[in-house]
Chains A and B, each alone.
Chain A
């Protein structure tokens, strides 16, 4: 298990325990986190699982591939340096305590 904190746009936080190897997007969906839509089911195609990753964790994430980079150009909320698609992040031990912020809107 990896503990993950979702901080919503209004500042409220929810902490959940996610299974190792499962994507952050799926972890959010199975814990009923509002603010993650994940319409495409994890194919980096819809840009509705956009998150801002807390600075402390940005460099622990696997590098972004071109497809994800392309999609992040299409998010509805502004892209920042810390923007990622949560469907492309798999929970691992290194990510224990991960904190992400949810954008104002996904669609």
Chain B
């Protein structure tokens, strides 16, 4: 058995195209669209020798692999490392990186904490915060859409909804970025980010303790499940931490990317101003168009085929959600950003049993901030070139100077 990037190099069918590409190269992570296109054109699956990976980027096959939890398991890790043969860098997530029946137990509790009803109770608070922030940004005129808006807004509402009392924007955003970079290959970027663990992880552990959280938040609901013996105390703490690793950097990215889309497509922003009810569909389309989570892996648990392509057991498969969300086979004029598209079925939140459990909260945050923008901002000017922040699983902006002109 030969290991590459901590997973097994398996036998690959002779007719699968081989592509000597590095999906984790800085340029690819910053400007992934040409890589997405080429990946889809080469075939349903391609083999990437340097990482001994099968990669898929067409909609149908990506969806099939990503959602079939029996043939393509998450418990062996959603990054490059296979937990059957390698020790994970930290204890794996007890919801994202486990399979049923255990998954059902943790997922039930986390779904309860983040239910539509729980989120509904927060809507007014989200709207008030959004209004105040946009008023502030209009006074500033010019600002950084990442630091001052995309990061500032979720950090001002989400940790409080969890019940956190002490809030550090840098720690919270970097915690997610670190966890997502850890999913990639053992390169310089990964080790640089993992070095931050010694500072970030103890802080997060402290903030997620039962006694650190205020009553009534998502965190308290999860700890209540421990009181009812649905979970152990330790599992409850792990689930609260997974809210922070999965719930901040992702929404930050989703909101930043939406501003980028609206800034570059003024006619779409006009539509949103005319009808602020398009805030939710606009966010959905921005998610499809930019895929904040660009790729996650699965591991084949059996010998199988997908779309006629044979896949051997133990193979790591890179599911490139960003490519699937731009597949012309699925989306008419896939490369056009159109806020009236209603892209039901996009894979930006995943699909199936692991489909994003935080999507109701994410949509509520986006709706609040985009509605405030639609009501108060006349036009959005992007100043200079936006810079993208390379990450092994997240496609996010690093900085984007923007001016909001008052309505």
A binds B: yes
Q: Contact string, B22-51, partner A, CB cutoff 8 A, digits 1/0?
A: 000000000000000000000000000000
Main secondary structure of the interface of B (DSSP, over half): helix
- Residues of chain A contacted by B354 (CB below 8 angstroms): 43
Query: Is A38 at the interface (CB under 8 A from chain B)?
Result: yes
> Which of A38, A45, A71 has the most B CB atoms < 10 Å from its CB?
A45
Query: Is B117 at the interface (CB under 8 A from chain A)?
Result: yes
Query: Is B359 at the interface (CB under 8 A from chain A)?
Result: yes
Q: Select B351's contact among A43, A69, A74, beta carbons within 8 Å.
A: A43
Whether A43 contacts B355 by the Cβ 8 Å rule is: yes
- Residues of chain A contacted by B355 (CB below 8 angstroms): 40-43, 45
Select from chain B the residue with minimum beta-carbon distance to A69: B108
- Residues of chain B contacted by A34 (CB below 8 angstroms): none
Whether A40 contacts B108 by the Cβ 8 Å rule is: no
Instruction: Knowing A71-B111, A71-B115, A74-B117, say if A41 contacts B104 (CB, 8 Å).
Output: no
Range, interface on chain B = 20 to 34
Q: Select B359's contact among A29, A45, A69, beta carbons within 8 Å.
A: A45
Q: Contact string, A27-70, partner B, CB cutoff 8 A, digits 1/0?
A: 00100000000111111111100000000000000000111011
Q: For chain B residues 80-121, which have a beta carbon within 8 Å of chain A? A: 104-105, 107-108, 111-112, 115-117
Instruction: Knowing A43-B356, A46-B360, say if A70 contacts B345 (CB, 8 Å).
Output: no
Whether B353 contacts A43 by the Cβ 8 Å rule is: yes
Q: Contact string, B166-203, partner A, CB cutoff 8 A, digits 1/0?
A: 00000000000000000000000000000000000000
Q: Select A41's contact among B111, B112, B351, beta carbons within 8 Å.
A: B351
- Residues of chain B contacted by A45 (CB below 8 angstroms): 111, 355-357, 359-360
> Which of B344, B351, B352 has the most A CB atoms < 10 Å from its CB?
B344
Whether B356 contacts A66 by the Cβ 8 Å rule is: no
- Residues of chain B contacted by A41 (CB below 8 angstroms): 344-346, 349, 351, 355
A72 to chain B, nearest CB (A): 11
- Residues of chain A contacted by B350 (CB below 8 angstroms): 43
CA distance A15 to B205 in the complex (A): 54
Q: For chain B residues 304-357, which have a beta carbon within 8 Å of chain A? A: 344-346, 349-357
Q: Contact string, B199-241, partner A, CB cutoff 8 A, digits 1/0?
A: 0000000000000000000000000000000000000000000
- Residues of chain B contacted by A47 (CB below 8 angstroms): 115-116
- Residues of chain A contacted by B108 (CB below 8 angstroms): 66-67, 69-70
Whether A65 contacts B104 by the Cβ 8 Å rule is: yes
- Residues of chain A contacted by B104 (CB below 8 angstroms): 65-67
B251 to chain A, nearest CB (A): 15
How many chain A residues have a CB neighbour from B under 8 Å? 19
Select from chain A the residue with minimum beta-carbon distance to B107: A67
Whether A74 contacts B115 by the Cβ 8 Å rule is: yes
A49 to chain B, nearest CB (A): 11
- Residues of chain A contacted by B353 (CB below 8 angstroms): 43
- Residues of chain B contacted by A42 (CB below 8 angstroms): 351-352, 355
- Residues of chain B contacted by A65 (CB below 8 angstroms): 104
Q: Select A43's contact among B105, B112, B346, B349, beta carbons within 8 Å.
A: B349
CA distance A40 to B351 in the complex (A): 8
CA distance A17 to B351 in the complex (A): 24
Whether B116 contacts A46 by the Cβ 8 Å rule is: yes
CA distance A73 to B349 in the complex (A): 23
- Residues of chain A contacted by B115 (CB below 8 angstroms): 47, 70-71, 73-74
Whether A67 contacts B351 by the Cβ 8 Å rule is: no
Select from chain B the residue with minimum beta-carbon distance to A26: B345
CA distance A74 to B350 in the complex (A): 22
> Which of B105, B115, B351 has the most A CB atoms < 10 Å from its CB?
B115
A54 to chain B, nearest CB (A): 25
B336 to chain A, nearest CB (A): 21
CA distance A71 to B116 in the complex (A): 8
Q: For chain A residues 60-107, which have a beta carbon within 8 Å of chain B? A: 65-67, 69-71, 73-74
Select from chain B the residue with minimum beta-carbon distance to A42: B351
Whether B111 contacts A46 by the Cβ 8 Å rule is: no
- Residues of chain A contacted by B346 (CB below 8 angstroms): 41
- Selected A-B contacts with CB under 8 Å, 23 pairs: A40-B355, A40-B356, A41-B349, A42-B351, A42-B355, A43-B349, A43-B352, A43-B356, A45-B356, A45-B357, A45-B360, A46-B359, A47-B115, A47-B116, A65-B104, A66-B104, A67-B111, A70-B108, A70-B112, A70-B115, A73-B115, A74-B116, A74-B117
A binding-site residues for B, Cβ under 8 Å: 29, 38-47, 65-67, 69-71, 73-74
* Closest CB pairs A-B (n = 5): A43-B355, A66-B108, A74-B115, A74-B117, A74-B116
Extra contacts besides A41-B346, A43-B357 (5): CB < 8 Å: A38-B344, A45-B111, A46-B360, A70-B108, A70-B115
